[in-house]
Copies of this chain bind each other. A is one copy, B any other.
Amino acid sequence: MVERWCKGLQMKGRTLVALIGITIVVSSLLTYAATDSEKGFLRGMLGQIGPTKEQGTNSNPQNAEQAASLKKVYEIYGLIQDNYLEDVDQQKLIDGAINGMINALGDPYTVYMDPKSAEQFNQSISSSFQGIGAEVTMEGGKVTIVSPFKGSPAEKAGLRPKDQIISVNGETLEGLDLYQAVLKIRGPKGSEAELNVLRPGISDPLTVTVVRDDIPLETVYAETIQKDGHTFGKIEVAQFSTDTAAHFKEQLEKMEQQQVDGLIIDLRGDPGGLLPAVVEMSQMLIAKDKPILQLEDPQGNREVVKSTIDGKKSYPITVLVDKGSASASEIMAAALKENGYKLVGQHTFGKGTVQNTVELGDKSQVKMTIAKWLTPTGEWIHKKGIEPSISIEQPKYFLAAPIDVKKGSLQFDQNSESVKNLQVILDGLGFPPGRTDGYFDQKTETAVKAFQKLNNLSMTGKVDQKTAQLLQDQLIKKIQEPANDLQLQAAIQVLLEQVKK
């Protein structure tokens, strides 16, 4: 439960599992963060530009000059301490000064993290978290278990798919959104979560006590797809974190043992992660001595990173990307594209820089942009992104929001953003509303009535709580149906064409 959101739940275009704590903290990250896997990796470059705690400011020859230029900061700091109307928290002023300096760089990827944020960040790039170990979704307003993870505390405690969690340690989850509910269910290793659970077929709520533990975070999801007598593998990468390369290797080997006819790598919505991970993974796919990327340091020196495996893969590969594919995802996508594979989906995000994280004495960290990465042919895709070989959008209803009837039913002659969203959903479900600009006209009313008739609701033409819920449930079902994932279908088509040749 509650350590994962279910596919399609957020209805944000992509039907992927959103990993809590990851999608939130790590956006478009590409870092050399201190992991064992980086030892010996790109050591030359790290030696040049990767500052460490040991390399303190005392070794800096410009000290005196820097001290002089900071004199004004120091002066104003004093003025504030002495004269400002209210008492001022020193720490706040200092963090403010640091954030101000960093903001002045105009680089969204260079950030200062106070000790607490730094810890969260470190967790986010590691491959585990502490909780009960289950995938949850929101169904009919209830937090519902999709499935407990294998061997997790949730499984051991006997939780089952479709169980609805009502409360945690006496605190009700009613009225919370999925994210808020997840925060209540998670907790430190060893602590107990007493859950009140409704189980289908059992009338009284059960009480289930789960002892929380370290839960490994899956960032790689694999499945096979049958189409026209062919078997294709699909490996989805949610993020490039510490164990991602190892898991990817495992799944890739499984696919190859099964002798799949082609492979789809799904990088949609993948914000990136660790540079060593994406390099290692790309090296598993691209033929030996072919370039994967180039790194460029502040002085303009470049280093080409090449692949290591023998020979080209015997099967075709297609890569799914969208505008949420950023950073490490773009390295992989560009490497595969420039080595002859096809990208399917949308233009990617466009982040072409590498960050390094430096820990300061008080456990705060600075994550700083220290290098560019370029594609194998030397292109810098920063702020530009990568154009897919085959450009294809998802249906419009993938982006619809939940219908909001808090302020009353939606009905004829209204004019609002809520109506606009309703119209997109009606359209997606095959009830054309005439217009999608937010004005509830006769045709929209007819569409609502048609939906109500087909679903045995009274044909009021008004969207009340009940109609809204049903529209939404059907929308989620529709989004989760692979046949409606137009990008995936296009990727399969590309593989089919290549297999037939």
Contacts and interface: CB of A to CB of B under 8 A. Distances in A.
A370 B97 contact: no
Interface in A26-80: 49, 51, 56-57, 60, 62-63, 66-67, 69-70, 72-80
A102 interface: yes
Contact of A66 (B74, B84, B101, B356): B74
A100 B101 CA distance: 7
A359 to B, nearest CB: 11
A84 B439 contact: no
A79 B358 contact: yes
B74 A94 contact: no
A74 B372 CA distance: 26
A474 interface: no
Contacts of A85: 107, 298, 353, 369-372
A74 B69 contact: no
Contacts of A246: none
Interface of A: 49, 51, 56-57, 60, 62-63, 66-67, 69-70, 72-86, 88, 90, 92-105, 107, 110, 112, 298, 353, 356, 358, 360, 362, 364, 366, 368-372, 415, 437-439
Which 8 A-B residue pairs are closest in the complex by CB-CB distance? Answer: A100-B100, A96-B104, A97-B97, A57-B78, A96-B100, A97-B101, A96-B101, A85-B369
Given A72-B362, A96-B101, 7 more contacts: A62-B78, A70-B70, A76-B366, A93-B105, A96-B102, A97-B101, A100-B100
12 contacts: A51-B82, A57-B74, A72-B362, A73-B73, A76-B360, A79-B366, A83-B356, A85-B353, A93-B104, A98-B100, A99-B104, A100-B103
